[in-house]
């Protein structure tokens, strides 16, 4: 009997980049850097209010006289509608109309002015189940640089999809100076925050991004947030309560700075202005240490 001859395929050479302890990611082309502006990346559990926080923080920076650019990084392209009063097309949508010939685009094709002069871009994302969000972020920053739109900007805010911390949607961390985490005073939000902190730690090994602080949102109290922060080396830098005016502002497609001047609304506006001033003055990097999933599961809650 003739022995069967088996030919094994040669192993592929895969170029990988270490992106933190216990994590190996395919090396990504980070593209052009953002120079000159302060860059913040806002993360948090899906539905926690990152877009509300980002948009109102953008307005607060603009009220302080800063030139602000907000970049939504979500295929739903709903980051900036309270600023522009409509759903704007995404960078990928617009590139598709010119068969991805970026040189045919003008700034007004993909950058839109919102409330109080905040400039808005919806980077969007690839179609569901396809592509990588990191490519979209890279293309967006490249376009902005090519059209010199970052040269006259003081603050850039990336509003990032949910609590996804894959290499693609962690791409804004490669451009950011500080990462901000939005959370509520509940188990699910803090559990998600812990994993986001781990992702930021991993990126900080190879990039300049550092943790800038925790924003408590939609919460009457902050006891669980503060307890977690104390255990992990983090700090709460702002607190926004669960006001009905916030819910109504989304329905009205408006920022909180357009919702009148009742005492409760004014207090939230003042908190955003205080936070913007604090961030622009510079916050010290926080050396937060995430917990293992089992440890935080046991840590949170009551006996």
- pLDDT tens column, 172-201: 888 899 999 999 999 999 999 999 999 898
93 is in an annotated binding site: no
DSSP element (H, E) containing 41: strand 38-44
Neighbours of 59 (CB within 10 A): 27
Q: Is 85 a catalytic residue?
A: no
Please report the DSSP string for 72-92 in residue order: EESTT--SSHHHHSSPPPPHH
**Phi and psi dihedrals of 31, rounded to 5?**
75, -165
Tokens matching residue 1: 């009997």
Minimal CA–CA distance to 282: which of 223, 233, 210? 210
| Start-to-end Cα distance in the chain | 70
242 is in an annotated binding site: yes
Ranges of the chain with pLDDT below 70: 1-33, 126-131, 133, 162-169, 302-303
- The residues facing 58 across adjacent strands are none
Q: Is 252 a catalytic residue?
A: no
pLDDT at 131: 67
> Which entry of 76, 85, 252, 289 is annotated as an active-site residue?
76
Tokens matching residue 18: 């270490």
Q: What is the pTM of this model?
A: 0.86
CA dist 221 and 164 (Å) reads: 26
> Which entry of 19, 50, 159, 203 is annotated as an active-site residue?
50
73 is in an annotated binding site: no
Q: Is 278 a catalytic residue?
A: no
DSSP element (H, E) containing 238: strand 236-240
Q: How many CA atoms lie within 13 A of 184 on its CB side?
A: 15
218 is in an annotated binding site: yes
Say if CB 142 and CB 32 are below 8 A apart.
yes
Query: Which domains are assigned to the chain?
Result: 38-299 (3.40.50.300)
pLDDT at 6: 42
pLDDT at 2: 46
**Phi and psi dihedrals of 239, rounded to 5?**
-140, 120
Per-residue pLDDT tens digits for 147-157: 888 888 999 99
pLDDT at 134: 73
166 is in an annotated binding site: yes
Q: Is 292 a catalytic residue?
A: no
> Which entry of 74, 159, 163, 177 is annotated as an active-site residue?
163
Say if CB 216 and CB 184 are below 8 A apart.
yes
């Amino acid at each position: 009997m003739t022995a069967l001859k088996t030919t094994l395929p040669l192993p592929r050479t895969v170029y990988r980049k270490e992106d933190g302890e216990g994590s190996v990611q395919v090396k990504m082309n980070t593209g052009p850097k953002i120079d000159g502006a302060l860059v913040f990346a806002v993360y948090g559990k899906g539905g926690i209010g990152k877009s509300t926080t980002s948009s109102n923080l953008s307005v607060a920076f603009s009220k302080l006289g800063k030139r602000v650019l907000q970049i939504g990084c979500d295929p739903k392209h709903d980051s900036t509608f309270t600023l522009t009063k409509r759903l704007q097309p995404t960078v990928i949508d617009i590139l598709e109309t010119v068969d991805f010939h970026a040189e045919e685009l003008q700034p007004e094709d993909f950058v839109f002015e919102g409330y109080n002069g905040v400039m808005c871009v919806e980077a969007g994302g690839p179609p569901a189940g396809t592509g990588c969000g990191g490519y979209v972020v890279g293309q967006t920053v490249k376009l902005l640089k090519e059209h010199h739109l970052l040269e006259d900007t003081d603050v850039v805010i990336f509003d990032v999809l949910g609590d996804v911390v894959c290499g693609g949607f962690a791409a804004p961390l490669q451009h950011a100076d500080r990462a901000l985490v939005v959370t509520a005073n509940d188990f699910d939000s803090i559990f998600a925050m812990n994993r986001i902190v781990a992702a930021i730690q991993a990126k900080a090994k190879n990039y300049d991004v550092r943790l800038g602080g925790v924003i408590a949102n939609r919460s009457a109290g902050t006891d669980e947030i503060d307890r977690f922060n104390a255990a992990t080396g983090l700090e709460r830098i702002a607190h926004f309560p669960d006001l009905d005016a916030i819910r109504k502002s989304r329905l009205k497609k408006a920022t909180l700075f357009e919702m009148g001047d009742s005492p409760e609304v004014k207090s939230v506006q003042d908190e955003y202005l205080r936070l913007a001033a604090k961030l622009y003055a510079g916050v010290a990097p926080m050396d937060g240490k995430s917990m293992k999933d089992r440890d935080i599961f046991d840590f949170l809650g009551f006996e």
